[in-house]
Amino acid sequence: MRAVVVSQWGGPEVLTETETDRPEPGLGEILVRVHAAGVNPVDWKTRESGGLIAWGEIPIVGWDVSGTVEAVGPGVTVHRVGDEVYGMPNFPRQAGGYAEYVAGPARHFAPKPASLDHVQAAALPLAALTAWQALVDTAGVTAGQRVLVHAAAGGVGHLAVQIAKARGAYVIGTASAGKHGLLRELGADEVIDYREQDFTEAVSDVDVVLDALGGETAERSLKVLRPGGHLVSLPGPDSVPAGAGAVNASWVLVEPDLAGLREIAALVDNGLLKPLVDTVLPLSEAAKAHEIGERGRTTGKIVLTVV
């Protein structure tokens, strides 16, 4: 099969398309013929140094995939050959998403949202599960709460805005002025231009803050939370401020999640959640996809087409 491998840790130029052995599904696993693979910041951060990822013999980056079940391993009952599925298998261990085939635990995949094509579906798993697990599983967002989403037009942020809105929250997002119209279309009730306005002066009595930035932003976000509120941080455990006082502060590392993927698909098919795809490139241009992503200017997601 064709796959994009990491020849050595480094810049985008280390991504090389090659031929390698097709994986085989083991006990409880399925083999998926990949139609499209999503690109995420963790992909290029891993490519640079390997990070904490448990790699296989041949390093193949990528986790987000959407495709068709090609084969089913012993013991699998949730999927059949020919099913269209999407998922984020094995994270944070190697999944090998930048390839024609991926094998992984059957319950790391779910039926693809019927209303999306494979490119759109591949934009969802990691980012949407991150937003879902942060807002729903961790912070327990409910109707009437005030939710602040930082970097609201980003890969996770634009989905978090929609998920919070679908749960009945009043949603506030931070983004550059040029993205305010888009965020209002996605359901944001209030948008703050972080370049022109200090969000700590514009917002107060927030129940939940979703922070994809960390550092000073996380520290300052504590000021806008009401007592008992919840700061959920995404960059890493070091991004959680010390001394949160009367509020909760958590770090979330996204996990493969069949139930979450099903909930996300239901939101999509009910018209409550829409992934934004910024750029679509063929698998052979994975290096270019990383170059674009690392500039930090995309709105929504980058996706690679495989077949």
Domain-wise residue ranges, the chain: 2-124+275-305, 127-251
What is the dotted CATH code of the domain comprising 2-124+275-305? 3.90.180.10
Write out the H or E segment, with its range, that includes residue 258.
helix 258-269
What's the CA gap between 66 and 35, in Å, rounded?
6
According to DSSP, the residues that pair with 244 across neighbouring strands are none
Please give the Cα distance from 102 to 67 (Å, whole number): 9
Nearest to 17 by CA among 256, 248, 287: 287
Instruction: Report the 10 Å Cβ neighbour count for 39.
Output: 30
Give the CA count within 13 Å in the CB-facing half-sphere of 220. 14
pLDDT value, residue 133: 98
CB 19 within 8 Å of CB 64: no
Residue 298 has pLDDT above 90, yes or no: no
Gap between the Cα atoms of 161 and 56, Å rounded? 35
Which CATH architecture is the domain 127-251 placed in? 3-Layer(aba) Sandwich (3.40)
How many alpha carbons fall within 13 Å on the CB side of residue 120?
A: 15
Paired with 16 in beta bridges are 5
Alpha helices per DSSP H over 75-185: 118-122, 125-132, 157-166, 180-185
Band of pLDDT at residue 200, cut at 50, 70 and 90: very high
pLDDT tens-digit map of 37-83:
999 999 998 898 776 555 556 689 999 999 999 999 999 999 999 99
